[in-house]
Amino acid sequence: MSYAFNPLKPIAIGSDHAGLAYKNALIKWLTDKGHAVNDLGTYTTDSVDYPDYAHATAIAVESGEAAFGILLCGSANGVAITANKHQGIRAGLCWQNDVAQLIRQHNNANIICIPARFVALALAEQMIEIFMNTPFEGGRHATRVGKIACN
């Protein structure tokens, strides 16, 4: 597989307190594989508001500062909803490998959202690997993706 995102840009990653342990483990896993990572928080287990970290990650991806984003929270629904408020973001909620592949192939997702309370860390790593290496198919899917924005 070829890398579907610009490997010269960092990967943006953010989480709330429920996703912190996974975020820290994924940062180590990604950096051990040679990827640059922009850690956008949180940094403690203190209760925080997930939108703060989802917005920061979405802004990094939307601005082009990051190649793509990873968001984690308990269910991943909150971070996905928040990130998708940004016009240039297509955040997909993933809980299995097939979904990680399809949100790239069919939806051209640029942020993967992972429910830390519901998937094993090893599965999270597999989903991210698939997400990073799956290209957007374009074609009929490009027409559909083009209709997502509200403006």
Active-site residue among 17, 55, 86, 106? Answer: 106
In which residue are the tokens 């594989």 written?
Answer: 33
Contact 94, 122 (CB under 8 A): no
Active site residue 55: no
Contact 6, 137 (CB under 8 A): no
Contact 85, 54 (CB under 8 A): no
The structure tokens listed for 35 are 């990827």
CA distance 96 to 92: 12
Active site residue 35: no
Segment (H or E) for 115 = strand 111-115
Active-site residue among 17, 35, 55, 73? Answer: 73
In which residue are the tokens 């993967």 written?
Answer: 112
**Catalytic (active-site) positions:** 73, 106
